[in-house]
Amino acid sequence: MDSAPIIHYLEEHPKFAKVFAPLFERHATGDLHFAVTTISIAEVLTGPLQSGNEELTERYRAILESWHVVDLTSGLAANAARLRATLRLKLPDAVQAASAFAVNADALVTHDRDFSRVRSLTVLSS
């Protein structure tokens, strides 16, 4: 799960929350399982931290850490570097893609990132 869909859903974005709501509903019923990267955790927590809302920060953190957290290991970093070098991805995108491969994800859920060059990865986007 990339950062933007999480942020849109948690912050009830007027347009995009409903786009991703069915995935979150399926996750809540156990039909889907979410994995999140440490990059996504950092990005999602930035907004509440910038606004000084520690309560919201901890709420978001608890939600994110209840999912499968894909840690950024040296092996994953090397795979991300390979994707970045061969496909010219930005580092956060390369980490997201390498993480999806590492956990054998069925798909990477994103909003506005261009993963079209990663042809062996199913991408669900708005």
Q: Kindly indicate the confidence band of residue 57, based on its pLDDT and cuts at 50, 70 and 90.
A: very high
Those residues with Cβ within 8 angstroms of residue 87's Cβ, 6 or more apart along the chain or in another chain? 94, 117, 118
Q: Kindly indicate the confidence band of residue 10, based on its pLDDT and cuts at 50, 70 and 90.
A: very high
In angstroms, the CA 64 to CA 5 distance is: 13
Name the pTM for this structure. Answer: 0.90
Domains of the chain (ranges, CATH numbers): 3-125 (3.40.50.1010)
Rg (CA), the chain: 14
| Residues 55-75: b if buried by 16+ CB within 10 A, e if exposed | ebbeebeeebeebeebeeeee
Residue range 66-89, pLDDT digits in tens: 999 999 999 999 999 999 999 999
pLDDT of residue 113: 67
Q: Kindly indicate the confidence band of residue 116, based on its pLDDT and cuts at 50, 70 and 90.
A: confident
The mean per-residue pLDDT over the stretch 87-94 comes to 93
Residue range 20-37, pLDDT digits in tens: 999 999 999 999 999 999
